[in-house]
Amino acid sequence: MFSRTQIVEKNFLNKLGSGRLPDVIIQADDLPPKWKLVELFESQLTSRLLDFKSRSLKANSESFYTIGSSGHEGNAVLGEVCDLEDMAFLHYRSAALMIQRSKKLPGQTIIYDLLLSFAASAEDPISGGRHKVLGSKSLFIPPQTSTIASHLPKAVGAALSIDRASALGVEAVMPKSSIVLCNFGDASLNHSTSQGAINCAIWVAYQNVSMPIVFVCEDNGLGISTATPANWVKATQSNRHGIKYFYADGTNLVDAYAVSKRAVEYSRKYRKPSFLHIKTTRLMGHAGSDIESLYLSKSELEENEARDPLLFSARIMLDTQTLGISEILGLYNRLKSQIDRVGDICIKRPKLTSAEEVMESIFPIKRNQKGTKEVSDLLRQNTFGKDYELLKNPWPMNKLINFALVDLMLEYPQSLVFGEDVAKKGGVYHVTAGLQKKFGGRRVFNSLLDEQSILGTAIGLAHNDLLPICEIQFLAYLHNAEDQIRGEAATLSFFSKGQFGNGMVVRIPSLGYQKGFGGHFHNDNSLSVLRDLPGVIIACPSNGADAVKMLRRAFYEAWYHKRVVIFLEPIALYNARDLLAPKDGLYTFIYPDPDEMADLNCHTSYGNGGEIAIVTYGNGVKLCQMAMDSLSSPLKAGAKLFDLKWLSDLEQNDVMDELKGFKKILIVDEGRKSGSYSEELMTLMIEKLNPVPRLKRVHGKDCFIPLGTAAEFVLPSAEEIAETIKTFLEEK
């Protein structure tokens, strides 16, 4: 009994040998040159034979991933009609596309490269054995894993960046004539991420803003086992305002080539989005582990296999007298022999051998060029205007961050500030007030109300070497879009051996303690969603002066080291002016000198006590200072306060060295008891400190934050902290 893989191969060879190939309608005007037809057909055959090889290697435990491109080989035409300078965000069934694209660049070894990826070899040029991904630095294809539409938002951002970079006169990766290509499956079209991304592209284009992107929906009619309703893609996409719809038969190489070329030319000429609907089929299941016979009848399987695009391409070769049967068989056998030989070599190539080796690519390769601007004092004065003299006065956090953004946008001309309401309104808390007036609408602009689009746009802008500074309006709003950070931004360097990076700063008004304003959508004290993202920097300043210096470090790390930085700004501290008494002004600060920048992973300490160390961050710093001040002198003298400031990579935070001399450590965490930073800190202290000190926590309750003064019952207070310090110090 043959497997479906064997049946697909035998069908092709038998029908070719007998000449029983399906009929194809060919429009003479659409025909590419014969040499181009051969090239495209060769890419299709190569892709198919690599799928066969992948499955045979998997059967021998020499390969680890069998989602293939069989049935989608018509997308080879997209590798031809797009230029190398058109960034391509690819679906995992795009091997033929990538193979054809490689032919545009001399010196490529695409079969060897893909087989190294199949074998998870450390020599795989894109991921270094970390995943079987389609990607290439030289071919301008960022690596993409098993995405379900999560790559569409960043493709939109990349498309937006092209003309924006040109208009701003800043250097970018893509030239002004470029477009962006983004393909996906019909099942992925139904995902909220793709719907949001396509809507965002239309929304931008509707306002006559450049959006040169080609969305390619490769419609094989199945989402694993779930059938797409007949004509669903056409019915929902063909008449949308602001995006031009094109339809192509993916089994007909000539038709697919002609229609794809028209779609690409449309987006390139008019700088508008197009939707290319390519009807395909799916052969050999979703992946090697997918048993199609469980949900498709034998007749349905045979109907799909009768639509094998290689059968139709072979007919085109014969009908156009481009290749004969013996020549097609010869090409097939030569490619198969080559793939077998290369595969036998690749499975013997080195694998990753240690955790250290695996983790090397978590951090991107550092940038060589400077790329920032020398800012004269005259330019600063002219830009700040009347605010220039105010820099000498003490200010709360929100105003100081605003000043810092002005300076940083002068220093980094490629930076863009965007998000919900950040332009004329200046954000909900007016942190970005006046920036649009100073820098214009191309650099400071409002987004639509969609966090997935905001974060995806940031990733895409960074792909084209701009520096996105996006704002998520509240911490809780991150949760419906956090996969853009987790699955896309944070993983890019890891799956590309550090070759690709998307340096960006995500500013988020965060945390609790907003009197009279509550509810878990605006008053969120949970940071757990950010705690386990390798390579992502998490910053949380506790006062305005630190916020300025840390924001400068955030820009620096995002631009020079291509790091993803999450910058958490405690809302309750935005307007805080007083610390210990009304109108004492102790929580306002003078704007730090422009040369002052915080060190990464370095803390700040307060006091000289040696009996108890208090470790905290964010709002906790102000609360602990208030608590310490309320203690009697002997108790006050025994405590020392540590502000972590940087909440990522706590193991490397220099505070651990200073904690070694303390016998008692109190952790104050405004987060909840479960899933909070205090859990991680206690574990780390037990592991790192010898002897282990006595440890205590003050933390939020395992509860959502309610409205108004009721919030005080579930969050740490200065009084609770003071009482805990007192009893802890008095304990023997």
pLDDT at res. 515: 72
Give the separation between CA 143 and CA 117, rounded to whole angstroms: 12
Q: What is the pLDDT of residues 554-573, one digit of tens each?
A: 999 999 999 999 999 999 99
DSSP per position, 346-384:
HTTS-B--SHHHHHGGGSPPPP-S-------HHHHHHHH
- Can you tell me the distance from the alpha carbon of 686 to that of 304, in angstroms, rounded to the nearest whole number? 60
| DSSP designation for 543 | S
Dihedral, CA atoms, 422, 428, 432, 438, nearest 10 degrees?
60
Band (pLDDT 50/70/90 cuts) for residue 66 is confident
Is the torsion defined by CA of 16, 19, 22, 25 positive or negative? Answer: positive
CB contact at 8 A, 57 and 346: no
pLDDT value of position 373: 86
Per-residue pLDDT reduced to its tens digit, 28-65: 888 999 999 999 999 999 999 999 999 999 888 898 87
State the pLDDT at residue 48: 97
SS3 category, 74: helix
Question: Going from the N-terminus, what domains does the chain have, and what CATH number goes with each?
Answer: 4-8+34-353 (3.40.50.970), 377-590 (3.40.50.970), 604-730 (3.40.50.920)
Residue 53's closest CA among 339, 271, 335?
339
Tell me the C-alpha distance between 442 and 156, whole Å: 16
Closest listed residue to residue 620, CA positions, set 694, 520, 510: 510
Taking each helix axis as running N to C, give the angle between helix 192-206 and helix 451-463, from 0 to 180 degrees, rounded to the nearest 10: 70
Whether the CB-CB separation of 602 and 544 falls below 8 Å is answered with no
Residue 33: CA count within 13 A, CB half-sphere: 4
Please state the rounded mean pLDDT for residues 133-147: 89
- Rg (C-alpha) for the chain, rounded Å, is 29
CA 201 remoteness from chain centre: 18
pTM for the full model?
Answer: 0.95
Residue by residue, DSSP assigns 604-634 as EEE---SSEEEEE-THHHHHHHHHHHHS-HH
Q: Which H or E run contains 142?
A: strand 141-144
Sign of CA dihedral 62, 64, 67, 68: negative
Is residue 299 packed enough to be buried (19+ CB in 10 Å), middle (13-18) or exposed (0-12)? exposed
pLDDT digits (tens, 9 = 90+) for 298-352: 999 989 999 999 999 999 999 999 999 999 999 999 999 999 999 999 999 999 9
Query: Element (H or E) spanning 246, and its range?
Result: strand 244-249
User: Residue 114 phi/psi, 5° resolution?
Assistant: -70, -40
pLDDT at 369: 67
- Residue 53, pLDDT score: 95
Instruction: For residue 1, name the pLDDT band (cuts at 50, 70, 90).
Output: very low
Cα 509 to Cα 619: distance, rounded to the nearest angstrom: 12
The number of C-alpha atoms within 13 Å of 366 and in the hemisphere containing its C-beta is 5
Lay out the sheet containing 444-446: strands in order across: 444-446, 415-419, 467-471, 504-510, 564-570, 537-539
Q: Tokens representing 589?
A: 């600060």
Structure tokens at 594: 């422009």
> Any idea of the CA torsion for 296, 298, 299, 303, to the nearest 10 degrees?
70
Q: CA of 151: how far to CAs of 178, 191, 457, 484, in Å? A: 18, 12, 10, 8
Q: How far is CA 277 from the centre of its chain?
A: 25
Mean pLDDT of the chain, nearest integer = 93
Q: What is the model's pLDDT at position 616?
A: 97
Mean pLDDT, range 725-729, rounded to an integer: 91
Reduced to 3 states (helix: H, G, I; strand: E, B; else coil), residue 220 is coil
Q: State residue 649's pLDDT score.
A: 83
DSSP strands (E only) in 622-728: 639-643, 664-672, 694-700
Residue-level pLDDT at 18: 92
Question: How far apart, in Å, are the Cα atoms of 65 and each of 117, 131, 147, 629?
Answer: 9, 9, 14, 60
Strands 589-590 and 394-395: antiparallel
Q: What are 512-521's pLDDT values in tens digits?
A: 887 766 666 7
Cα–Cα distance for residue pair 720/160, rounded to 1 Å? 50
Q: What is the pLDDT of residues 425-443, one digit of tens each?
A: 999 999 999 999 999 999 9
pLDDT > 80? residue 659 = yes
Distance CA 458, CA 155 (A): 10
Mean predicted confidence (pLDDT) in 626-632? 89
pLDDT in tens, 522-555: 878 888 889 889 999 999 999 999 999 999 999 9
pLDDT band at 584; cut points 50, 70, 90: very high
Spatial distance between the Cα atoms of 342 and 379, rounded to a whole number of angstroms: 60
Tens of pLDDT, residue by residue over 186-239, are: 999 999 999 999 999 999 999 999 999 999 999 999 988 999 999 999 999 999
Tokens of 141: 């294809």
SS3 category, 7: helix
* pLDDT score, position 4: 86
Contact 288, 295 (CB under 8 A): no
Are residues 15 and 311 in contact, defined by beta-carbon separation less than 8 angstroms? Answer: yes
Q: How far apart are CA 153 and CA 180, in angstroms?
A: 12
Cα–Cα distance between 114 and 97 in angstroms, integer? 13
Residue 293: what pLDDT? 84
User: Phi and psi dihedrals of 385, rounded to 5?
Assistant: 60, -130
